[in-house]
Amino acid sequence: MTMTSTRSGILAAALMLSLAACSSGSGTDSGGESDIRPLIATTVSPITSIAASIAGDCARIEGIVPEGTNSHTFEPSPAVAELLSKADLILVNGLKLEDPTIDMAQTNKKDSTQIVEIGTLVLPEADYIYDFSFPKEEGKPNPHLWTDPSYAIKYAGVIRDQLSELDPDCASDYAANFTTFEQQATELGEAVAADQQSVPAGNLKLLTYHDAYAYFAKNYGWTVIGALQPNDFADPSPSEVARLIDQVKAENVTTIFGSEVFPSAVLEEVGSATGARYEDSLRDDDLPGAPGDAEHSWLGLMKYNYRTMVSGLGGTPTQLDAIVLAPNSSNSAVYPQ
């Protein structure tokens, strides 16, 4: 069910008088009144959160991919087609992450509705990262740009521009919300860069369940030594597990990181065989808390993951802990659970 916040009587009156109206969309608010704000369909929850932070009260944001779902293998249900048919703008990551959803959108969307592949826009092809989970011969680069604050800011910039083009009456709101998001993401990036200095020399090495940190690692000087989940998302073979065990021992990896969403007995086995600690709580796309909580946001997700990684590798996340997660507009978005 689409849940939207009800505007105050003053704002509603202003909208009806067209003095400060945003462009029209479709739908109703929680009181049954017509909601004329643009309807924006998004895919994974980090993009939903960033879009909601930029949209504020000017647009309705509704996600498609349920939290805790493997977005690489997600197949949209027929019910998603209805949302896509009503959306005024469709925001996806691109980089081959959501091809089934894009196919459905192209079939069901309004003629005037654009499908914007944000990651494909902000990442030059020369900067594509291919690796063990995303081999180049399959033509699908690693799509996880949003785990790097600098790319999250670029995502927010694309969303600001797209919303402003769709809804010029709210352009100043989108610009102001972008500035706030940019400040928060910059502070987060500076905090993890400072806290990683507390990690013992040689320990900034990541072995994860899912390879979601390639761009972050490249820009922040970490080393991704591997990921348990193979490129076909099946269970790893015994020979692959044996190679990981040998690599962990050879590189003196202190902690290996599993996924809160996908518990892994194999990673636990690697930890037992090597003496590395198994930390099973990284959250790939699953925002902490519940919709409406301050931590249920892109900022809350990345703060949690960064501090888990820094502390797991022997550091002290002092600067990360100092970041305050204030209530934000992303709490009004619809997040499938």
Task: Tell me: do 50 and 77 sit in the same domain.
Answer: yes
Look at the chain and report how many structural domains it folds into: 2
Task: Tell me: do 178 and 55 sit in the same domain.
Answer: yes
pTM of the model: 0.88
Task: Tell me: do 146 and 208 sit in the same domain.
Answer: no
Instruction: Characterize 77-114 residue by residue with b for buried, 16 or more Cβ atoms within 10 angstroms of its Cβ, and e for exposed.
Output: eeebeebbbbbbbbbbbbbbbbeebbebbeebbeeebe
Which structural domain range is residue 276 located in?
199-321
Alpha helices by DSSP H, listed for 207-297, are 214-220, 238-251, 265-274
Which amino acid makes up residue 249? Answer: K
Q: Encode pLDDT of 271-302 as tens digits.
A: 899 999 989 888 878 899 988 888 999 999 99
Task: Tell me: do 224 and 256 sit in the same domain.
Answer: yes
Instruction: Characterize 280-295 residue by residue with b for buried, 16 or more Cβ atoms within 10 angstroms of its Cβ, and e for exposed.
Output: bebbbbbbbeebeebe
- Please report, rounded to a whole number, the percentage of residues in the chain having pLDDT higher than 90: 62
Task: Tell me: do 130 and 240 sit in the same domain.
Answer: no
Q: Encode pLDDT of 227-266 as tens digits.
A: 776 555 566 778 888 888 898 899 889 999 988 777 778 8
Task: Tell me: do 161 and 211 sit in the same domain.
Answer: no
Round to whole Å and give the CA distance between 50 and 70.
Answer: 19
Q: What is the CA radius of gyration of the chain?
A: 21
φ, ψ dihedrals at 120, nearest 5°: -65, -30
Last residue of one domain, picked from the residues 125, 159, 188 = 188
Whichever domain contains 249, its CATH number is 3.40.50.1980
Last residue of one domain, picked from the residues 136, 157, 188 = 188
Task: Tell me: do 183 and 209 sit in the same domain.
Answer: no
